[in-house]
Amino acid sequence: MSRDYELTLIVDSQLGDDGVGQTVEQYKTYLAENGITEVGVDRRGVRKLAYEVKKHAQADFTFLQFAGEPDVVAEMDRQLGLDEHVLRHLFVRIDAVEFPEEETAAVEAAEEES
- The domain segmentation of the chain, as residue ranges, is 3-113
Residue of 28, 14, 17, 8 whose CA lies nearest to 85: 14
pLDDT at 50: 92
What pTM was estimated for this model as a whole? Answer: 0.76
Nearest-5° Cα angle at 12, 11 to 18: 85
Residue type at 82? L
Regions of the chain with pLDDT less than 50:
97-99
Residue of 5, 19, 6, 7 whose CA lies nearest to 60: 19
Which helix (H) or strand (E) segment holds residue 16: the answer is: helix 16-33
Q: Which CATH class is domain 3-113?
A: alpha beta
pLDDT at 103: 52
Residue of 66, 80, 79 whose CA lies nearest to 3: 66
pLDDT at 113: 66
